[in-house]
Amino acid sequence: MTYTTSSTSHDRFAQAFTETVDQYRIIPGEDPTDAPMPDPVAVEHATEMLVRTIFDVLQDTRLESIADRIAWGVVHSLHKVTQQIDGQADKAAMSVKALIRQADGSEVGTRELEEAQQLCQSLDETRDALACMRDHAAATYLAETGKPWAAPQASLTSSKRTASVVAATDFLAARRQRKIDAHAPQGPVVIFSGGQVWEDHRLLYDRLDAIRASVPGMILATTAQDKGCDAIAAAWAARSGCKLIAFTLNRRLGNRAGFARNEQLLGLRPVEAIVCEGSGLQSHLAREVRKQGIPAHFFRLADQNSGQGPKGAV
């Protein structure tokens, strides 16, 4: 079995499987444990095997045609559990806030606050580890099928964690800032938009890799569609560890929603842009990108699998 691991992947697992709390618990009232985190390299390989084995055992059998659907479900199950743990962490943070408001300096109150913070931090730690596993499983799915895995809804963001236990108020402030940074990170922005019909992920991966090589701290901003170009861009971001901002449509704006989203993207003052052929919204964005003099790469549907570079019109 050949692994898709890389030094970047190893680094992500090493960071995600860092112990951030001495006494770990994710269920209120249960006894805490000081057991270590799993070995990150072992988890990395096991996660990959979880997806690859489906394709290996079904190859050349009558079930081979549905191997990709089963593997998609494996990645999705990791995604769902990650979401569940994230929801529990948010509820735990609300409990910490309530206890801060009620704090009276008593020994009992202090202990309750410490335990609530411990629970919240343990859940955050768990959520980051699961998100790392999900992202690696998605990368393996892509390697096996040639198609990017995409969640049916919601964005895939991974927060960064503090490495030490801090005072409860500071802990909540840091946690809140991590969530803000995950959804609105700071750095040079590259905007990306394309149609929902697109097959050649390698063409887009190569261009995104080239841009990131010249803009190492780049943040990718997309139009948040769950298939086609945006799904490919999201899969690339997960694989490469690039921060992603996904701009969804504001349906309340009616027919103007797509154009308003283009204005939001342009309002980020991007340093570069990729626009792939799609609908009139992509044509509008391409015109505005040219008008503002933003360095850009334009791809047509005909460019797929042709080995040719970007064209001058979308």
For residues 314 and 277, what is the distance between their CA atoms, to the nearest angstrom? 5
Beta bridge partners of 191: 221, 273
Contacts of 278 (CB under 8 A, 6+ apart): 193, 194, 195, 196, 197, 228, 229, 314
pLDDT at 76 exceeding the cut of 90: yes
Range with lowest mean pLDDT among 138-142, 210-214, 237-241, 287-291: 237-241
Mean pLDDT of 164-191: 61
pLDDT at 131 exceeding the cut of 80: yes
Angle between helices 107-145 and 67-102 (to 10 degrees): 160
Q: What is the pLDDT of residue 85?
A: 93
Higher-confidence position of 14 and 166:
14
> Sorting pLDDT into bands at 50, 70 and 90, what band is 176?
low
pLDDT at 170 exceeding the cut of 70: no
Higher-confidence position of 220 and 249:
220
Q: What is the pLDDT of residue 302?
A: 82
Mean pLDDT across the chain: 83
Q: What is the pLDDT of residue 206?
A: 92
Q: What is the pLDDT of residue 173?
A: 62
Q: How far is CA 125 from the centre of its chain?
A: 16
Tokens matching residue 24: 């770990």
What does the chain look like in DSSP terms, one character per residue? ------HHHHHHHHHHT----SSB-SSTTSPPB-PPPPPHHHHHHHHHHHHHHHHHHHTTSTTGGGHHHHHHHHHHHHHHHHHHHHHHHHHHHHHHHHHHHH--S-HHHHHHHHHHHHHHHHHHHHHHHHHHHHHHHHHHHHHHHSS----SSS--------SS---HHHHHHHHHHHHHHHHS--S-EEEEE--S----HHHHHHHHHHHHHHSTT-EEEE---SSTHHHHHHHHHHHHT-EEEE----GGGGGGHHHHHHHHHHHT--SEEEEES-SHHHHHHHHHHHHTT--EEEE-GGGTTTT---BS--
Range with lowest mean pLDDT among 122-136, 161-175, 237-251: 161-175
Q: What is the pLDDT of residue 308?
A: 54
- Per-domain residue ranges of the chain: 7-183, 189-303
Mean pLDDT of 61-79: 95
Q: What is the pLDDT of residue 182?
A: 60
How distant, in Å, are the alpha carbons of 73, 265, 313 from that of 289?
38, 10, 11
Mean pLDDT of 101-120: 82
Q: What CATH number does the domain located at 189-303 have?
A: 3.40.50
pTM of the model: 0.58
Tens-digit pLDDT profile for residues 182-206: 655 577 899 999 988 888 888 999 9
Range with lowest mean pLDDT among 23-37, 224-238, 284-298: 224-238
Range with lowest mean pLDDT among 90-94, 123-127, 158-162: 158-162
The amino acid at residue 5 is T
